Amino acid sequence: MLKTKILNIDPEEIEEDKLEVACKILRKEGIVVYPTETYYGLGAGCFFSNAVKQIYGLKKRDDDKPMSIVISDIGMLSNIAAEVPPLFPALAADFWPGPLTMIFKATPQIPQELLGGGNTVGVRLPSHPWLRALVKCAGFPLIATSANVSGQKEISEPDKVINEFEGRVDLIVNGGKTGGKSPSSVIDLSTDNPKILRDGAIPASELKKYLS
């Protein structure tokens, strides 16, 4: 059983010393539970195959279901997305940072385990300032999947996430109760015919304007 560190933060305040605690764990391929603008997320550095496998095990997630990634800025896309399609700049300008996951063809740097047997990867630039600061501090994108066992409800309360994951992950960042809103909308930009895969926090009617 792991000794899980609990790090209490104010998500509205970027405290460099606390960020560094989390970043050191991430750089050592550790597994971290962190707050987002919706629910608590479960993540690690997206380039670490062993960490990816551990997260699949913790979630009891099927191997053929890919996981998404969060970035701190658009510059991080260069190591993730093999191609950036023409539709991307307009979507990014209007919806990033925010609850829109865009799917791209993945670069060879992304572990196959993360892609669920495919060749594409979902990427989001979150609106949660602390999470963006964490990714920037780590220096690499993070896996972004909900901190729950697959098939169970997402978690927005820190006591529930601690109860679920203490002793099973390296760090839990307690940022209080999260927003618990709709999950991110998902749009697939990996083909010549972009399509909406999930109607979430951004209504499909808004995204369809970009597809016409």
Q: Is the pTM of this model over 0.85?
A: yes
Residue ranges making up the domain that contains 23: 5-211
Number of domain units in the chain:
1
For residue 85, what is the domain's CATH number? 3.90.870.10
Q: What is the per-residue DSSP string for 200-212?
A: -SS-HHHHHHHH-
Q: Is residue 144 a contact partner of residue 36, using CB atoms and an 8 Å limit? A: yes
**One digit per residue, pLDDT tens: the chain, 212 residues?**
789 999 999 998 999 999 999 999 999 999 999 999 999 999 999 999 999 999 999 999 999 999 999 999 999 999 999 999 999 999 999 999 999 999 999 999 999 999 999 999 999 999 999 999 999 999 999 999 999 999 999 999 999 999 999 999 999 999 999 998 888 999 999 999 999 999 999 999 999 999 97
Per-residue model confidence as pLDDT tens digits over 140-192: 999 999 999 999 999 999 999 999 999 999 999 999 999 988 889 999 999 99
Dist CA 100 CA 37 (whole Å): 12
SS3 (DSSP) at 59: helix
Rounded to an integer, what distance in angstroms lies between the CA atom of residue 28 and that of residue 16?
18
